Amino acid sequence: MNKRYTAPNDRDIVLFIIGMRIQQWWNIKAWWPVFTAMPPMMKELYREKDNGFLSHNAAWGGRTIVFTQYWEDIESLHAYAHGKTHMKAWTHFYQKAAKTKAVGVFHETYAIKAGSYESIYANIARPLGLSRALSPLEVSSSSTLKDRLRKGS
């Protein structure tokens, strides 16, 4: 049954958006290793508890793939970025793929203070986004943003 969810907004979070854009779709040898580098990292993030990673969503549109990740804090994100698995993928990108210009990579990082974000998921069969990352709260269909923020959920 589809429900309506929100996420608590009582804690600081980090929103990390990372992705790739295939510039030369015909140059598979150049972009394929970048494409296949993310799944092992995602498995590792979910497998290793207490690393600060909360959850993610993925989207693919045309030649662009985007992962939206939720982290507990910036320090945890930086620790993972400087860890063995990510550094191996990053080094490989610069040694091989970056030279070809066949694929580009990007990321954006946002540190968001408690109480300054809001989310709502209506007619969603299962929690996703912030509600998945921060333990979903079911809300009534009559609740309003103003009410949810006043109550802290």
DSSP, collapsed to helix, strand or coil, labels residue 52 as coil
Average pLDDT over residues 32-57: 92
Buried b (16+ CB within 10 A) or exposed e, 115-131: eebebbbeebeebbbbb
Average pLDDT over residues 6-21: 93
- How many Cα atoms within 13 Å fall on the side-chain side of residue 115? 3
CATH of domain 3-139: 3.30.70.100
74-81 and 84-92 helices cross at what angle (nearest 10)?
Answer: 60
DSSP state, residue 65 = E
Question: What is the rounded distance in angstroms from the CA atom of residue 147 to the CA atom of residue 134?
Answer: 19
Question: What is the rounded distance in angstroms from the CA atom of residue 105 to the CA atom of residue 92?
Answer: 13
Percent pLDDT > 90 in the chain is 48
pTM for the predicted model, two decimal places: 0.84
| Mean pLDDT score of the chain | 87
Q: How confident is the model at residue 128 (pLDDT cuts 50, 70, 90)?
A: confident
pLDDT, residue 150, reads 61
Question: What is the rounded distance in angstroms from the CA atom of residue 33 to the CA atom of residue 93?
Answer: 8
Average pLDDT over residues 103-121: 92
pLDDT, residue 1, reads 47
pLDDT, residue 69, reads 96
